[in-house]
Structures are given as structure tokens and as C-alpha cells.
């Protein structure tokens, strides 16, 4: 035991005060920077006589949107157009997430296959897709694959699915909830469920691209489970599939979920490349709106806000999933 310190500690060496001071200073600098940038924006906009205003959102949009889930026409206001674009974005993102997860999981598992051909295919897919820019891939899917499809009789026909230049026709519950497939009427395909080639090209591009990254996340997660777990399960007499499902995957998920979150978010953001393949997503509508109204700052702020909210929602859901799969201490 040494001599106790005599006298009170000076405040600038007090560990209870110091962190607060440093953090306060950093926060002040950040706030000042934000205030400066905002002030700059407002000053320049008022100098140009264009202070932020969102009144134009109520004016009629005057342009049409090719495919919408909500009814839309040119007479409806701009905000309705933006909402229709947002719904289109969400539709592509949701389908893309499901597809990319399924593809990524299958490919990730395939890279552990005892079959060398399957393993090789999985590895080549990942290496090929990861190293080509997404924009190029989207343009490839749209112009080289989907737009090269024939129409009418010559269209690509599979059971329940018809691939034609005029769209992707799927079997679904049609009139009277009867399951019905695509039919050819006067040289034009009809089906209960029709996806446009633009939507199909975008989703295919996003699924194939993000699937490659997700398969690596899955592979990493499975590799992180010690080999001993496989061996222990085998020695208990469990088959490989049961081992995977009951022993390995529950442990691997803890590693996989945070990585998936990143991939999901990047898929949501990448969906803004839709305009390259003629799909009218939020970005595409916003671009037209910006051009017609000249309200660049306001439109960009709406875009930033919308993508931020989409990504935060994905993060929150994945955080919830992460808590669900974490090790429960008993």
C-alpha cells in the first residue's frame, strides 16, 4: 500500500471529467460543421431566390409511370408519383432480398459439396459475378438476355412459365381463384401474373449479383463453426443434412446474420440502378420530378431520406434476427 494521494485531484486529470470534455469538444466541432453546411445551403439558396419549399409536391406530376401497384396517372400530384416510385423500389428490393438469400444459401452450401463439379461451379460463379460491375450486369440481363427473347409462339415456354419480350408470364390463381397458366390469345401472351422485362431484368441482376456476396457470407459462417462439431455430430450417428440443420447452421447463423445485413442494405441501395433498364423506381421518378420542377435540393433530400429509412428498417429487422439467434447464456 503506497502513500494515499494528498489533496484533491485537479479536474483536468479526473477520469470522470476528461472523457466528457473530449466528447463534448468533438460534438461541438461536428455540430459547427453541420451548422456551417446548412447555413451555406440556406444562404446560397436564398441568394438564388430558391428557399426550400415543398409546395410543388401538391402540383400535378404531368408524366406517366409505366408500371405501378397503386393506381397512378399524369393528373395526380408529384407526391403520389414519388410514392408510386417508392412502392416500385420496395417491390424490387423485397423480391430481390428473398431471391438473393435463397441463391446465396444454395451456392454457399454447394461450395462444401463433396462433388467437385458442384464446388467448382459455385466458386466460378462467385468469382465471375463479384468482379463485374453491377451496372454492366444489369445492362447485360436487360439488353442481351431479356430483350433478345422472342414474342408470340416462339417465346420460351416452360411448364407454368413463359418468357417473352413482352414480359414474364407466370401461372397463378386467376379468375375465381383457379390455378391457371399462361395462354396465347391472338399472338399475345396472357397470364394471371405478368412481370415486365424491366422488373425481371432488375431483379435477376440484383439476385445474381448479391447472391454471390451472400454465398460468401454463408460460406464464411459455416467455416467459422469448428470442424470438431461436424465430427462430434457424425460420431453421434447424425447424417450430414441433420448435422447441417441442427448443429452447424444454428451456430453459423450468428456469424452470418451481421454479414447478411450489409448485403441486404447494399442490395436496397443498388436497386437505384433500375433506371438503366427502364424500370421506374423511386430514383427514376425523382429524376423526372427534379427535371420538371427544378427543385434539386428538395428532391435529393427526399431521396436521401427514403433510402436512409429503407436501410434503417432493414438494419432494425436484422438486429432483431441477430438477437434471436445469439447464444443464450444459461
Partner 1 sequence: MAPMRKLLSAASLLAALALVGCASEEGGLQSQKLATLKGRGKLICGVDGKLPGFSFVAPDGQYTGLDVDVCKAVAAATLGDPSKVDYRDLNSSERFAALASGEVDLLSRNTTVTLSRDAAGGNGLNFAPPVFYDGQGVMVPVASGIKALKDLAGKPICVETGTTTELNLADRMRELKAAYTPLKFQTGDQTYAAYLQGRCVAVTSDRSQLAGKRTNFPDPAAHTLLPEVLSKEPLAPATVNADPAWSDAVRWIVYALMQAEELGITQANIDAKLAEAKAKTNLADLRRFLGVEGEFGKQLGLAPDFVAKAVKAVGNYGEIFERNVGTGSKLKLERGLNRQWQQGGLIYSPPFR
**Which residues in this chain contact partner 1 in the complex, by CB under 8 A?**
48-50, 62-67, 74-75, 139, 143, 147-148, 151, 165, 197-198, 275-276, 278, 280, 284, 287-288, 290-294, 296
Q: How far is the CB of 190 from partner 1 (least distance, A)?
A: 14
Question: Which C-beta is closer to partner 1: that of 47 or that of 324?
Answer: 47
Minimal distance in Å, beta carbon 67 to partner 1? Answer: 8
Burial of 261 (0-12, 13-18, 19+ CB in 10 A): buried
Give 23 or 59: the residue with its C-beta nearer to partner 1.
Answer: 59
Length of the chain (residues):
330
243 near 234, Cβ under 8 Å? yes
Question: How many degrees, rounded to 5, is the angle at CA 319 between CA 224 and CA 255?
Answer: 0
Rounded-to-integer distance, Cα 253 and Cα 83, Å: 35
CB 279 within 8 A of CB 202: yes
Smallest distance from partner 1 to CB 128, Å: 24
Q: Which residues are within 8 A (CB) of 292 and not within 5 positions of it... i.e. 6 or more apart?
A: 61, 62, 63
- CB nearer to partner 1: give 126 or 282: 282
14: helix, strand or coil: coil
Nearest CB to partner 1, comparing residues 62 and 239: 62
Q: In this complex, which beta carbon is closest to partner 1, that of residue 202 or of residue 253?
A: 202
Rounded to the nearest 10°, the torsion over CA 272, 275, 278, 284 is 90
CB of 36 to partner 1, least distance (A): 20
Query: Residue 184: which residues within 8 A CB-CB, separation 6 or more?
Result: 152, 153, 190
Q: Name residue, grid cell 419549399.
A: 53
Closest distance between partner 1 and the C-beta of residue 152, in Å? 12
Closer Cβ to partner 1, 199 or 230, answer by number: 199
Amino acid at each position: 500500500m503506497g502513500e494515499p494521494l494528498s489533496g484533491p485531484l485537479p479536474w483536468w486529470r479526473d477520469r470522470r471529467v476528461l472523457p466528457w470534455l473530449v466528447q463534448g469538444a468533438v460534438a461541438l466541432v461536428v455540430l459547427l460543421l453541420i451548422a456551417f453546411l446548412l447555413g451555406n445551403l440556406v444562404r446560397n439558396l436564398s441568394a438564388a431566390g430558391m428557399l426550400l419549399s415543398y409546395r410543388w409536391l401538391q402540383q400535378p406530376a404531368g408524366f406517366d409511370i409505366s408500371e405501378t401497384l397503386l393506381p397512378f396517372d399524369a393528373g395526380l400530384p408529384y407526391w403520389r408519383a414519388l410514392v408510386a416510385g417508392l412502392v416500385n423500389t420496395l417491390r424490387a428490393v423485397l423480391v430481390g432480398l428473398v431471391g438473393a438469400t435463397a441463391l446465396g444459401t444454395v451456392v454457399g452450401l454447394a461450395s462444401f459439396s463433396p462433388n467437385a463439379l458442384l464446388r467448382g461451379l459455385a466458386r466460378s460463379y462467385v468469382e465471375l459475378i463479384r468482379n463485374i460491375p453491377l451496372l454492366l450486369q444489369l445492362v447485360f440481363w436487360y439488353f442481351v438476355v431479356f430483350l433478345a427473347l422472342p414474342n408470340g409462339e416462339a417465346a420460351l415456354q416452360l411448364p407454368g412459365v413463359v418468357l417473352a419480350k413482352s414480359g414474364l408470364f407466370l401461372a397463378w390463381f386467376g379468375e375465381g381463384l383457379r390455378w391457371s397458366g399462361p395462354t396465347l390469345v391472338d399472338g399475345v401472351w396472357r397470364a394471371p401474373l405478368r412481370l415486365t422485362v424491366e422488373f425481371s431484368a432488375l431483379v435477376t441482376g440484383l439476385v445474381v449479383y448479391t447472391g454471390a456476396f451472400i454465398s460468401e457470407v454463408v460460406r464464411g459462417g459455416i467455416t467459422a463453426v469448428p470442424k470438431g462439431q461436424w465430427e462430434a455430430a457424425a460420431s453421434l450417428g447424425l447424417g450430414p443434412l441433420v448435422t447441417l440443420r441442427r448443429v452447424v447452421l444454428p451456430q453459423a447463423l450468428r456469424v452470418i446474420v451481421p454479414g447478411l445485413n450489409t448485403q441486404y442494405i447494399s442490395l436496397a441501395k443498388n436497386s437505384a440502378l433500375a433506371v438503366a433498364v427502364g424500370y421506374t423506381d423511386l430514383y427514376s421518378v425523382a429524376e423526372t420530378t427534379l427535371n420538371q420542377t427544378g427543385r434539386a435540393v428538395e428532391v435529393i433530400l427526399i431521396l436521401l431520406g427514403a433510402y436512409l429509412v429503407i436501410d434503417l428498417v432493414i438494419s432494425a429487422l436484422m438486429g432483431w434476427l441477430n438477437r434471436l439467434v445469439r447464444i443464450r447464456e444459461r
